[in-house]
Structure 1
Amino acid sequence: MRGPGMSGPDGSERFVKKHDFVLARLGAIAALLGATFTLTGCDKPASQAAAPPPPPVTVAQPVKRTVTDWDEYTGRFEAVEEVQVRPRVGGFVNSVEFQDGAIVRQGDLLYVIDPRPFEAVATQAEGQLSDARAKVELAKRELDRGLSLVQSSAVSEQVVDQRRQALQAAHAAETQAEGALKAARLNIEFTHVTAPLTGRVSRHLVSPGNLVQGSDSGTSTLLTSIVTLDPIYIYFDMDEATFIKYSKLWFEGRRPSSRDTANPVQVTLAGETKPSREGTINFLDNRLDVSTGTLRSRAVVKNTDLSILPGQFGRVRLIGSAPYEALLIPDAAVATDQSRKIVFVVKSDDTVEARPVVLGPLDDGLRVIREGLKPEDRVIVNGIQRARVGAKVAPQTAPAPAGGKPGDKS
């Protein structure tokens, strides 16, 4: 029996295929709806899951205490006294009497120059002096004889005057001979070159057997050099703005001038993290360098262990302000937000706030905060990476930093 729209076997097959296609589409739609309901059902427990607890952070209140600013400069050490050892007389070097780089005392023998030529000159000068003294004695006797004869008119007054002049000439020749002998003996003494001061000597620049020139030649030979080590100078340059700041503080009576007061300095050597030496300012130049706009300054530092050598570098800290009260926090609590410095403060509802601050110098490991904080603020000092602005945190109070208690003077 044929249904409507069917005409023969071909129509039956088309009907069956169309029926199967519709059933397949309905099955796919049902499966899609089932998957959707399944996903919806899975999302419901995730949305109802408990929120994570606030992250723990460590907070501390700023330390309040009296501090003094220190300005820091780069300096170079130089010897208080330095001398270049040169011979006063020329000749051949016989021996070197010191060890290179050793500590020598004033008067220690350094070099010996062949003294024989100068000894010969001294012997000749002694003979000339003896001759001059003999002539003086002869002139005296002739003058005495003339004075006795002039009374009996045996000789004239002119003869007496001539003999008196001869005696004076003999005395002059004696004086010249004495001077020549002293010079010859000095030259013998100068053949022994001694240390003019106590300090560390450099290496010997002339070996035995070499000829050296003395000071009388105008180009005396450099033998070695000696520098003093204790105390030692450190020179540094301060810029014009800092000099003006110091002058203003001095006019206001808040800081003594280094020109009339030995202001203290602290020195940090290369490789050190904190100052290890102390000294005082003892010189400020009388003008600024026009090429650099800086003022040359100098401090004197004790060097009892002789460990500092001229030419070394050091960092010099000089008092830069009058004492004042300041708030301080650990330097690790300061973060950078582009071009400004910030700290994270926990408010009363335990949410985090980013607070811009103006920094001062470090003082005993703590950073001075000039602006931006109050004594009662709770600053995050540990766990900054877990803090998010506006989010809650679980604050834990840290022990008071060294140097004082939060909000207290020290």
Structure 2
Amino acid sequence: MNRIRRVLGRSSSSTHRLGALCLLLALGGCNEKAEPVAAAAPVVEVTTVSVQAVREWDLFNGRISAIDAVDLRPRVSGYVDRVAFREGDEVEKGQTLFVIDPRPYREALASAQARLARARATVRLATEQDRRGQALVKQSALSREEGDIRSASLAQGVADVNAAVAEVATAQLNLDFTQVRAPFSGRVGRAMLTLGNLAQADQSILTSIVSQDPMYVYFDADEQSLLRYTELLGKGQRPGVSNTVRVGLANDVGTFPLTGTVDFLDNQVDPATGTIRVRAVLPNPERRLTAGLFARVRLEGGSETRAVLIDDRAVQTDQDRKYVYVIGPQNQALRKDVTLGRQLDGLRVISAGLAAGDRVVLNGAQKIFYPGMAVEPKEIAAPTQQASTAAPQTPVAK
């Protein structure tokens, strides 16, 4: 009986210990449940919106053109004896580009010089005969008719000398023309005729040359712009033809680094297109401009105004709507729809939706997952425009 009690006692003690262990494990599990940790607000770069002075510009499409351009043709016929340039190089005015076989023209010059010498010898003889004849006529030793004949022979000899002089000059010109020279400084194209080929005077194209500095840019202004410019000119709010233009090439995204001056306005509007041709002169010391390049031209369109400008990178797109994130009073990223205006050197005119003093998210908008999300703003300097200009969004087709 005592043995049974001892066994039951040990069993009861083990049961109590097992229950206590389960209780401790349960309590430990409850204590290990951690509180959720709040995620840190993302850091975004913001800039304060300011109002800046801008001048309105109109934007047009244009083409770069050389001031001087020529298809070089020979003035005399002959076989090409030498090509004296490297294709694609820049050449100077007067530089020899082609040499046409000069031998026939040297012989022609020598022949003309010989005829001139003969004519001069004839004149010397006729002069002496006329002098003697006039003396004999005065002594009645020679008839007046014979004296007149001698005078006429002298006059004819003088005319022959003049003709021979002209022939020599022509022969010398033809010989000089065998050296085909650059009529102006510029960039030369490829050689259309090479060594041994026959060049026909005034027909065969030898090569082409285009001048390099300065260059023209041609563009077409629409009627509305022309009328507005004329009205502003009448009010004294813009100069005459000599207006400043800013020009950007295809790789100048959003910028217009080149500056030129309008020097020509056509005398009539093209009724088929409703546009008028305008030309500006651009310096080209670095040879960025090449004839035929597409160009975007900004032409001053009005007086100076003040506008809200922000970096174009801050503008976000939601289907057909544009918006920006601004920082609210509790450092919340609030969405504001905006109306875009003209673009200027990477900055964007905001026609509606923002006011001076608003803090706009410039970098880090991809970290904002929903409007009202808490962020940590980091203030950076507001971008400024490079020039007080603004251009319209839609260019006029050339």
- TM-score bracket for the superposition, by shorter chain length: 0.7 to 0.9
Structure 1: how far apart are the matches of 2:135 and 2:45?
Answer: 118
Which of 250, 266, 277 is the matching residue for 1:285?
266
Contact kept? 1:265, 1:299, Cα under 8 Å = no
The reply on whether 1:151 has 2:138 as its aligned counterpart is yes
SS of 2:176's equivalent in the other structure is helix
Deviations 1:42-63 (A, max 9, x none): xxxxxxxx9x99x888775531
Identify which of 199, 211, 219 aligns with 1:236. Answer: 219
Alignment of 1:366-385 (within 5 A): 366-377=347-358, 383=365
Question: How many angstroms apart in 2 are the aligned matches of 1:271 and 1:348?
Answer: 39
Query: 2:254, 2:343 within 8 Å by CA — same for their partners in 1?
Result: no
Partner residue, 2:284 = 303
Counterparts of 1:211 and 1:350, CA distance in 2: 82
**Aligned equivalents of 1:59, 1:105: Cα separation in 2:** 55
1:316, distance to aligned residue in structure 2 (A)? 2.2
**Preserved CA contact (<8 Å) 2:45 2:380:** no
Distance 1:263-1:291 versus aligned 2 partners, 3 A rule: same
C-alpha distance in structure 2 between counterparts of 1:386 and 1:313, whole Å: 41
SS in structure 1 opposite 2:302?
Answer: coil
Matched, 1:274 2:255: yes
Say which is worse superposed, 198-207 or 375-384, in terms of deviation.
375-384
Contact 1:143 1:164 in 2 (8 A): yes
- In structure 2, what is the equivalent of residue 37 of structure 1? none
CA deviations 1:325-348 (Å, max 9, x no partner) are 112234345456776655566777
Residue 265 of structure 1, CA deviation: 1.9
Matched residue, 2:228: 245
**Corresponding position: 1:74 with 2:57:** no
Amino acid at match of 1:134: A
Counterpart of 1:89 (choices 76, 85, 95) is 76
Percent pairwise identity: 38
1:222 to 205, 211, 225: 205
Tell me how far 1:103 sits from its aligned partner: 1.6
Distance between the aligned counterparts of 1:368 and 1:339, measured in 2?
18
User: Could you say which structure has the larger radius of gyration?
Assistant: 1
Aligned to 1:105: 92
- Tell me: CA distance 1:265–1:332, structure 2 relative to 1, closer, same or farther (3 Å): closer
Q: Report the AA paired with residue 119 of structure 1.
A: R
2:46 & 2:105 partners in 1: Cα distance? 85
Name the aligned partner's letter for residue 72 of structure 1.
Answer: L
**8 Å CA contact 2:309, 2:348 repeated in 1:** yes
Alpha-carbon shift at residue 387 of structure 1 (Å): 4.9
Change (3 A) 1:352 1:129: closer
* In 2: Cα distance, 1:392 partner to 1:198 partner: 64
Shift of 1:71: 2.7
Aligned-partner residue type, residue 184 of structure 2: L
Contact 1:265 1:318 in 2 (8 A): yes
After superposition, the Cα gap between the structure-2 partners of 1:290 and 1:124, relative to the gap in structure 1 and judged at 3 Å, is same
1:200 pairs with 2:183: no
Give 3-state SS (helix, strand or coil) of 2:123's partner. helix
Report the Cα offset of residue 137 of structure 1.
Answer: 1.5
Count, aligned residues: 347
**Secondary structure of 1:150's match?**
helix
Q: Distance in 1 between matches of 2:251 and 2:135?
A: 88
Task: Tell me if the contact between 1:122 and 1:184 (Cα under 8 Å) persists in the aligned partners.
Answer: yes
Greater alpha carbon shift after TM alignment, 328-337 vs 72-81: 328-337
TM-score, reference length from structure 1: 0.73
Match of 2:162 among 175, 199, 203: 175
| Deviation readout 1:148-181 (Å, 9 max, x if unpaired) | 1122211222222222222111111111111111
Distance in structure 2 (CA, Å) of the matches to 1:286 and 1:83: 26
Out of 343, 346, 350, which is 1:365 matched to? 346
1:121 and 1:254, CA in 2 relative to 1: closer, same or farther beyond 3 A? same
- Structure 2 residue runs without a partner (length 5+): 1-35, 386-398
Per the TM alignment, residue 233 of structure 1 is displaced from its structure 2 partner at its CA by 1.7
Once residues 208 and 94 of structure 2 are traced to their aligned partners in structure 1, the CA distance between those partners, rounded to angstroms, is 14
| Alpha-carbon distance, 1:138 to partner | 1.8
Aligned partner (choices 292, 298, 305) of residue 317 of structure 1: 298
**1:364/1:109 CA distance change after superposition, 3 Å:** closer
Superimposed CA distance per residue, residues 221-263 of structure 1 (whole angstroms, 9 cap, x where no aligned partner): 1111111111222222222222233233323333323x1x242
C-alpha separation between the residues in 2 aligned to 1:253 and 1:88? Answer: 52
SS in 2 for 1:182: helix
**RMSD of aligned alpha carbons:** 3.2
Distance of aligned partners of 1:79 and 1:394 in 2 relative to their CA distance in 1, 3 Å threshold: closer
C-alpha displacement of 1:89: 0.7
Range moving further from structure 2, 371-380 or 71-80: 371-380
Residue range with higher mean Cα deviation, 222-231 or 371-380: 371-380
Is contact 2:243-2:299 (8 Å) kept? no
